[in-house]
Every structure is written in structure tokens, then in C-alpha cells.
Structure 1
Amino acid sequence: MPNRRHTLTALGGIVAALALSVPAANALTDDSATTGTTVARSQDTFKGRTDAAVRKSLKDLVKKDGFPGALASLSDPGGRARNYTAGVGNLKTKSKVPLDGQVRIASNTKMFTATVVLQLVGEGRVSLDAPIEDYLPGLVRGDGIDGHDITVRQLLQHTSGLPDYDEEVVQDYVAKQQHRYFEPREILQFGLNKKALFAPGTGWSYSNTNYVLAGLLVQKVTGRPVGEEITHRIIEPLELRHTYWPGLGDQTIKERHPHGYFAAAPNTPYADVTEQDPSAGWAAGGLIGTPGDLNRFLTALLDGRLLKPAQLKEMQTTVDAPDLDTVGDGHYGLGLATFKLSCGGYAWTHGGNAPGYTTRNAVTKDGRAATIAVTALPTTLPAAEHVEAALDTALCTR
């Protein structure tokens, strides 16, 4: 999940950093419903306290924090799922938020990109401890930056010291950047034009630049576009029917979705940014998906369905990342982070922020999964904390 420094960045206001057909369910009167795929679903699965607590947390995100809409998807260890909504899906028409609607999942894309890199490691085509120079010679250069000194592991772990390019692609977002197309090497260069934050391996700082390089690495090794590799290696095998890599220049969201909104500062009007060019996120944040699909992906990943045991162990080997979450007790592995639970222990997580959408998700050791999405970026730290608290509520209330 993007750290606090990236969740709230001053750009003449407060802006979160970019990473950057749903099945019809029978709506209940509380705006929640069970859905079914290959596992029989039970209306009794989320009875009582969990159901009421999740509904209240979403309503509070709308009424108290001002998010236009909110969505949640929960699943239990048996795969039984329940979806919830609050608020409106369109501020003009006041239409309902679609259950398990598509959103821009932003930095959750990093989990997919890291998984592909680790699959290539398992195939013997990439070495985690090789310098990125071995795969992209002459590309990674700058002030205190040299590709000979930065390993593949350090890119995936955010310990490379490479600066983030995020400010360049969100500054004056609605006026200048919303519909602008960026080439991957263009956004990479935004990061490389800055001075290194620290020597590789001596610190931790969340940087989208790392994952643009990871995407370029995938393309160099496979000879195919990174979006195609993510699709063939992850999305199709897991049958994530509502998750996709947007085509070149595609600014729309294909299936049923809530509109996404952007405000540059607290107490300012929302602009509709549902249609936007996702290229600024690319391998760091370009995917579109649903909360339910994110739960299915995270569950499958941690069940070992995508990675060999050795590579999954590497992914879950973490370093301290104290500014990763709002409780200041974060740890980050290789495209996967920890989320401290109020009910004890940790869950595995990532999360994502893109103009218009914020997502937080996690899966526990015993297989409970939850994803919370809201249809705007938080403009205050309390609002960001409340989104994380809603995720904790979904996983801890029993």
C-alpha cells in the first residue's frame, strides 16, 4: 500500500500518489448481496456483527469523510463472498454504486508485476540478486544512481533508493495530466532526473519508479508487453474475469463501475476523473479490476497457486517500512506488504491510490480476505486512516 508520504502529498493541496460486465447480484435492502461463482454461496456466511459493522464503516466513509461512494468485498476461507456498497456511483445522477464494480486498482498492480518477475526467477530467467544493469544495460543512470549497484530484489522491495516520479504526473492533474499519455521510459526518466534518496540497500522508500523498471525488465526478458504477460500468467489462469490491462490509449472503464472523483484539497468541489489515461501508472499502477477479483488474486497468490514455494518465500521476506501505513508498523516484501490487525497478528496486503479511486485489501493467514474501495482519494490523513480502519473492521469483526 502506498505509504503515508505518498498517500498525502502537497501539490497546492493534498493529493495521493498514482501507482495508478460485473455479474449482476440481487441487491438487499442494506445495499449488500452474496454472489456466487464456482463455490456455493450462503446468505448466512456474514451474518450478525460482521455484516452490520462493514455496512456502518462504509456509510461512515461516505457521510463523515465525504467519499462519494464506497464498495467492499469479503470472502471467507471457503470462498463464500459478500459484497457491500454505500453512497452513490454518480454524483450527477445519484445512481447506486454497482456491487463489486470495477475500479482502477492502481498500486495493487505492483503485486501482479512482482509475481511475474518472481515467476521468471522460478524459470531461471531472472536472478533476484543480479544488478538491473544485466537486463537493461546503460538505462539506469543519474545523480547517485547506477544500474550496476541496484539489484532486481531492491527494485521489488523499494530499497533501491530510486526517487519516485509521482509528482510529475499528478501536478495540475485535472487541467494537464488526466488525459495525457506517457511512455514508460518517459515516466522512468522523471524519476532518474532526481538525486538518489540513499545508497541501494541502506534504506526504504516507496517509489513507482522501481516498478516501471520491473515492467521493462519483464518485457526485455520475455520479449512481450508486460500487460500481456500479466494477463497470460495471472489474470487468465485465475479466471479474474473483471480484471484487465487497459489497451493503449483506452481511457474508459469497460464494465459496470462507480464514477471516480478528484479534489486537490479538502472542502473543494469534486471533478469527475472516471475517464483518464492510465499510462502514468503502467506496471506500477495501470490495472482495472473489482474488489472481488482482488480478493481472489490475493488468496490464490498466498495459497501458492502462482509461485513456487521458494519464490513465494522470497516475496514474503520483508524489511521494515515504518511509514508504509498509518499505524507506523509496516513491513514490505517483494510487491507484498503487511497490515497490522486490531484483532492480533498481521495480514498480507498492498493497496492502491489513483485519481478517482482508493483501494485497501488484505488476506489473513486463515484465508479471510477483504477489499475496501472508495471513489476518491483521501484529502486528509484521518480520511486515509478511516479507509484502513474499514479494512480492519472487515477482517476483525466476528
Structure 2
Amino acid sequence: MSIADFSGRVRPDACPGALQVHEAADGPLARVRLPGGAVSAAQLRELAACATDLGSGVIELTSRANVQVRGLRSATAFAERMALVGLLPSPAHERVRNIVASPLSGRGPAGLLDTQPLVEALDRALCARPRLAGLPGRFLFALDDGSGDVVGLGADVTFAACAGGTARLLLAGSDAGLSVRGETAVSYMIAAAEAFLDERESASERDGEAQRDSTAWRIGDLEDGAARVAARLGGVAIDGPPSAQEVRRAGLTEQRDGRVALEAVVPLGRLTAAQARAIAAAAESVPAEPSVAVRLTPWRTVVFLDLSPADAGRVARLLDADGLVTDPASPWVGVTACTGRPGCAKSLADVQEDARRWVAGRSGPTEVPVHWAGCERRCGLPRGQVVQMVATADGYQERQQ
């Protein structure tokens, strides 16, 4: 079980943000939310500049398509600069803007709906409700375009597009028994978040067994949480969500409009400032207004949308030259790792360096994704079938999930 799966919370959520930083072993760490993984070239350049001027020089991608900067020398200056480029639209809500979405946003072969307008509408609605600033920093929304790529991420509230213009609303992985359309999706998702807070508040008024519920971070932390939240929405929680699709991608994907999307793996989810600037430059090099769309993904890759085949080839060469990976046959595909030493005081090993040496000895990707972890917490562990390389006092132990 990863740290993200623990229930029975006994302390307030301390998830970091751009204002509330985490005191890591290598200094303050700030996390910036990117709803739907959307980031502009200008924002990437400023993140790169902040990582260089104020931090360790590295930008980490998270499993929710957010970014974080480590070793900050001035958290206040960092937050001010993030606000200036539009990455901190609501100081009160900055830790709760956790929204993942299908990166191809309806463009892929199985996509049914452009989710980006819904991402933007949900973000605006979330920030417009003062009460929702009280959501825990781990509460997660997801918008799946019908391809099934984000339904398996374990979000608290998931909009899963279906054929015929309808969608299913999932609560902690359970079907809520409600038919949702694009025009009602945001209102239902906001109502689900408010219902979660209602359940927490009602639990805090009871004694005994309800104590766990009053400190819950996720719908799944509540006893029968999905059923209770669904009931407040007028639905009934049903087991059997849509099947999640395995995601281990790099390279080109044909869009339905004849253009292509290019996906690049960020080795171990760590971007140098130079790589972040290279992504920005590649986006700006494509003839588009103002630049080609870039999305970060929950599996720590970068996606360029709406490219011509010729532009895709040129962008791929630019990215490969800066150490990013666009070849789906690369041994980097499917390999992840936690921060490890020296950034994490709990880690028993420098897992980033150990994982790099392991990848260097391979000629191609593994059949099953591999995650390297520095301790039993296994931070950053992907969902689904994963080989786990867990550091112990006696070396690494290989485990299966």
C-alpha cells in the first residue's frame, strides 16, 4: 500500500502548495497545480527561471500532472512569481485545484469529448466557492474523454464520457448511478465535493466510530463514502466503473483530424531548467497562435497537441537532444521513482541514481512498469500492475502490486 492509500487520518492534511510549502530534507518544497496538466510556454519559462534563481534547478512532475520545485531559498518570492504568470489564481484555493484530465482531450481514436473547456469551467467554479477552499489537498477531480486513461487514477470525483453525449459520474471509483451531460458536469462535480464536506461535518458532530470520518482526506476514507455522497446527490453507488486503460506511452498518436500528438517521457519525472526551456521553445517553434498546446500528464510525460507530421518530427528531435524520450522502445518508458536521498529524510537509498544505473543496463522497456521507492511509504507509486523495487536496510526488495 502506498502512502496515498492510508485511511483513518489522525492529523490535518499538510499537502504542499505554492504558499504552504513542505520542509523537505533538501529545503522547502512548493507544489504548483496545473488543472488538466495545461501549461503555457511562458509559464514553463518562468518555472525554469524560478527553479534556477530560487531552487535546486529541478522541476518535478507529479502523479497528478502538477509540478514542484525543491530547495527553495525564498518561498514568498516563488509564490509571487507564480501569481504573475497566472499559476496562482486563488490563494485560498491553490492547494485544492487538483484536476486531472485525458491529455489528448478528445482528439485520440477513443476520445469522445474535448475535456479542456470542462477543466477550465471546473477550476473557475471551484475557486468561486469559498467553502471549497476547505477541501483537503489530496482531494482529486478527473475528467475522462472516453478513452479510459484517467478513470483508473482513483480520483474522488470522475467525469467519464460515454457514447451518445452522456457520461458517468464516479465517486472513489464507484458509479454514482447518475447520468451526467457536459452542460451539467461541473455542477455535479462541485456538488459531490460539497457533499463530501457535508459528510465530514456531520461525522464531526457524532462520537465514537465517526471520528475517522471527521478527519477524512478522500471520499474513500469515509465509511461507505461513495454511497453516502451519492445519496446526497440523488444517486446510488454501484460497483463496476469503466475499465481503465493501461498507459505507457511515448511517440506519436494520430488524431482524428489528421494531425498528430507527440508524447515525450521525462526520465524519472524530473525536468532540468534547460529541459523546461527546451519544451517551451519547441512549443513556440510550431506555427500556431499563440503556440501549440502542451499538456503534462499523470504518468509524468509531456504531450504536444495538434502537430503536423513534419512538425512532430522536428519537435521530437529537439526534445531528444535535450534528454527527453520520444521513442516508445526506450528503456525509460514505464520507469518511475520517488525522490529518495538526499531530498527525503525517510529514504534509505538514492533511488534516482540507482534507477538510472538500472535503466542504463537495459535495451528496451519492461513488460510491466517498474517503480523505485526509498522506503515502505512508496511515494509516487503508480496504480495498476507495477513491479516495486523497495529500498530496505538490506538492499532492494522486488515486489509485485
User: Structure 1 length as normaliser, TM-score?
Assistant: 0.28
- Flag the structure with higher strand content: 2
User: Structure 2 length as normaliser, TM-score?
Assistant: 0.27
* Greater relative contact order (Cα < 8 A, sep 6+): 1
